[in-house]
Amino acid sequence: MLTIVAFIVALGLLIAVHEYGHYRVAVACGVKVLRFSVGFGKTLYSWRPKNQRPGQDTEFVIGAFPIGGYVKMLDEREAPVPPEERHLAFNTQPLRSRVAIVAAGPVANLLLAVLLYASVNWYGVQEPQAILASPVAASVAARAGLQGGETVTQAGFEGEALRDIASFEDLRWLLTRGALDGQDVRLAVTSREGGGRELVLPLSQLQATDADAQLFRKVGIMGPFTPPVIGDVVAGGAGDKAGLRKGDLVLSVGGKPVVDGQQLRELIRASVDGGRTVASNWQVRRGAQSLDLTVAPQVVRDGAATVGRIGAFVGAPPAFVTVRHGPVDGLWKGVERTWEVSILTLRMMGKMVIGEASLKNLSGPLTIADYAGKSASLGVTQYLVFLALISVSLGVLNLLPLPVLDGGHLMYYLWEGVTGKSVSDAWMERLQRGGVAVLLVMMSIALFNDVTRLFG
């Protein structure tokens, strides 16, 4: 139920903001707006505000199906317009006004994202400290010399100035951008003993195409540092059968000292040989006792790989820090994050078009609904971050030069501005059909990816 509510609220808000951008600028430009609708289909509720601007008599509507919305303006191309109202029609407005009205929807979504990111920055959010877990063996991080337990104080792309890292999520976002953009990342770290050094992660060598868990396995930084403590144990699982209990601190596995939860998870994953489990001796501390247990993980499939599982949560919660910014700094960081997400989205779309990135990165309504529910269950700040991300995606998507989108109409206006002539009706029809076909293909791929992720 939470997933459905969170999804409907997200869609309703983002669509309403998008259409309000069109509506507000249209009214400011002197265009008569006939209807402002959030949703399609049967009208659930409608009203006409009493105090509207002169010449306006807009009907506001909430439709039964919240996937979409529209602003209907007076337009000679859609219906006859009385001569006395011709100056209020959209098609009679100067080019700059039409451009502003069409662009206002995507811009409204981008401005909403800035406000949402800024709100999170002002309110503050609990995030894991930027203390690194043990790197995955043979990964980029391991080859760069990271061992686990280092605190990342500053980071940046190679050739740029380093900036302070406030949390592990801050670092994760930088690594994601670096891997997908093919840029090396420089880190300034402090070891557990207090010594500082700088190192470079050559992420450009990865030639990453997907932003998934396998990408971070290649990078080697899977998560923040966590103590190697056993959490909830599944009854009847491999850990339960071996005698592991919640709260056990794992000291060593097979005689190898264990320093953190990530290292322990990797040792468990690797405890298979040719599809058969490999039992090993675990030394654990339970209260004041030191125990020796023989653990034989269960063999399971993880994608194409065969790995070990013990049926228990591995690793205690990481150390957290409250990340909060002042009014100006928080707003500016909201602008920066919106810009970074927009550029990354455009680059990924461009790479998908030329075949350098996988089409698996496209997500549809099922994935969005799933993330909406998960983020809402984690709290207000996580839900706001989710809304900001989707708002950026909606704004960028609508600016693409596809004829059925706002970006397509801006493309027509660019042609008109350059040539002095509007696009002919014949060409308009051809382009609209092509745009619809491309959009349907994209929606089909996104829906297929949704089903694969959720049910595959």
Q: Which of 232, 226, 230, 225 is nearest to 249 (CA)?
A: 230
pLDDT at 371: 75
| In contact, 288 and 303? CB cutoff 8 Å | no
Contacts of 455 (CB under 8 A, 6+ apart): none
Q: φ and ψ at 283, to 5 degrees?
A: -105, 120
| In contact, 399 and 348? CB cutoff 8 Å | no
Counting residues of the chain whose pLDDT is more than 70, the rounded percentage is 98
Q: In sequence order, what are the beta bridge partners of 163?
A: 155
Task: Give the Å distances, CA to CA, from 36 to 58, 59, 82, 397.
Answer: 7, 6, 21, 21
Domains in the chain: boundaries: 94-124+326-456, 140-219, 230-316
CATH topology of domain 140-219: Pdz3 Domain (2.30.42)
Could you report how far apart the first and last alpha carbons of the chain are, in Å? 23
Q: Is 160 an active-site residue?
A: no
User: Is 325's pLDDT higher than 80?
Assistant: yes
- Cα 366 from Cα 361, distance rounded (Å): 14
| In contact, 224 and 196? CB cutoff 8 Å | no
pLDDT at 352: 77
Lowest mean pLDDT segment, chosen from 92-96, 286-290, 336-340, 370-374: 370-374
pLDDT at 342: 93
pLDDT at 104: 96
Q: In sequence order, what are the beta bridge partners of 128?
A: 320
Instruction: Give the SS3 label for residue 109.
Output: helix
User: Is 456's pLDDT higher than 80?
Assistant: no
Task: Give the Å distances, CA to CA, from 408 to 1, 20, 322, 403, 435.
Answer: 37, 19, 43, 4, 8
Give me the DSSP letters along 218-249.
HHS--SB----BEEEE-TTSHHHHHT--TTPE
Amino acid symbol at 19: E
Q: φ and ψ at 75, to 5 degrees?
A: -155, 125
The band of 94, judged by pLDDT with boundaries at 50, 70 and 90, is: very high
Fold identical between 140-219 and 230-316? yes
Which of the following is catalytic: 19, 127, 150, 266? Answer: 19
| In contact, 27 and 33? CB cutoff 8 Å | yes
User: Is 100's pLDDT higher than 70?
Assistant: yes
pLDDT at 151: 94
Average pLDDT, integer, range 302-316: 86
- Cα 434 from Cα 417, distance rounded (Å): 23
Amino acid symbol at 52: Q
Instruction: Give the SS3 label for residue 184.
Output: coil
Is CATH 3.40.50.720 the classification given to domain 230-316?
no
Average pLDDT, integer, range 94-110: 95
- Cα 177 from Cα 174, distance rounded (Å): 5
Count CB neighbours of 235 within 10 A. Answer: 7
67-89 pLDDT, tens digit per residue, is 788 999 999 888 899 999 999 99
Which H or E run contains 295? Answer: strand 289-295
What value does the mean pLDDT of the chain take?
89
